[in-house]
Structure 1
């Protein structure tokens, strides 16, 4: 059964508003079975390639690393390792996500994590004036300019997808 999000200001939203950056908010009902970008794309009526997922990995030298990539692509761990200065990168275990970032699966925003981790946005983001990312809560997304996301997270826009 889909649950309607009870919207309150998330850390990500507060940060974006504090910087007075323009954004568009999307609210939608969610369920555990339908947290992927394909489901979100269908619910919002937006191409899946414009909805970017936030993934957290761990580098052998840097520790946690954030990757923001289009929902219709896969993260290339070798490319991420190279751009982040690591020899090896593995995905952060799901049970460590909330403790590390402050966010849960399906509601992990690149903006407003507990710490400012090295962040890399997929090169595909440059194709769009705005991309859609999690606003920090399940059932809540927002659309922002890639350059604004990069500025807020000190991200580099690089080739990190397969």
Structure 2
């Protein structure tokens, strides 16, 4: 007959599901309760779809649309300043917001209005894309600033050296 140790020899029970994360217990809310990371993994898999509120979802979509519109406007301004700096006539229809054949689909990208709640993952992806677009927007604005700065530096230099016919005294 095989003898089994009594239950009294086991101090506590511990779940091994997700134990590879860490079986080390952690205090919860500073109290005496202990919860291991393996239990957190079980809890996280219980509610996998976490939604952002509808108001936050609308705000993210609205911000995305404004960012796309701003990016398009800045690209048009940059193109206009570049043409002016080269002495060419700019395409004013772009500044007026008239869609032309030369505009790419990404420039005319529109964000569909949807008021439904989005998942946290979708919201995070959208925020990363917005951050990337903001970085591109800042680069384009810096480029415009430098183009204008160079243009005026050249203009002032021409004026001081007497090469600008508009500023000659008769």
TM-score class, shorter? under 0.3
* TM-score scaled by length of structure 2: 0.18
Larger C-alpha radius of gyration, 1 or 2?
2
Higher RCO, Cα 8 Å, sep 6+:
1
Q: Specify which structure has the higher proportion of strand.
A: 1
* TM-score when normalising by structure 1: 0.19
